[in-house]
Amino acid sequence: MKPIEALKSARNTYICHQVNRVRLPDFEENRFVRRHITFHGRVQKVGFRIELAQMAERLELTGWVKNAENGEVIAEVQGFESRIRFLLKFMNSLKRIKIRKMENKPHSIKETETEFRIL
C-alpha cells in the first residue's frame, strides 16, 4: 500500500470510529424532505464526504455527496427533517472542518432511493 493510501485508510478508519461513538438523540419524526446542500469553506481533503456519508447512514438518510471542482462539497440528503438538521449541526461542529457558509435548498423527493453514496 502506498503511503498516501495508508494515510487515507487510517483517516477513514478514525472517522468511522468517531461517527459510531456519537450518541444520537431520540428524534421526533416530522416532515420527510430532500435538501440540496452546498458547503463552502475548508471541506475538501479533511474527510468531509466520508464523515457526512457515515453519519447519514446512521441517521437512516439517503442521497449522495461529492466534491465540486471549485473546492465546495455538494450533497443531496433525503429523510426526516429533524435528522437532516442533526446531520448539518454535527458536520458544523467538527473542528478539522471549517464550514463558512451552507446553502440549503429544498429539492424533489426521490421515492426509489435506498442508500447514501459518495460520488
Tell me the pLDDT of the chain (119 aa) as tens digits.
665 565 566 656 666 667 777 787 787 878 999 999 999 999 988 889 999 999 999 999 999 999 999 999 999 999 999 999 999 999 999 888 899 999 999 999 999 999 999 99
Per-residue confidence (pLDDT) for residue 1, from 0 to 100:
64
Q: Considering the candidates 49, 58, 100, 117, report the single residue annotated as catalytic.
A: 49
Per-residue confidence (pLDDT) for residue 8, from 0 to 100:
61
Per-residue confidence (pLDDT) for residue 6, from 0 to 100:
58
Q: Considering the candidates 12, 67, 85, 104, report the single residue annotated as catalytic.
A: 67
Per-residue confidence (pLDDT) for residue 10, from 0 to 100:
61
Per-residue confidence (pLDDT) for residue 4, from 0 to 100:
58
The region that residue 40 occupies, defined by phi over 0 for left and psi between -120 and 50 for alpha, beta otherwise, is beta
Q: How, if at all, do strands 116-118 and 62-67 pair?
A: parallel
- Reply yes or no on whether 67 is catalytic: yes
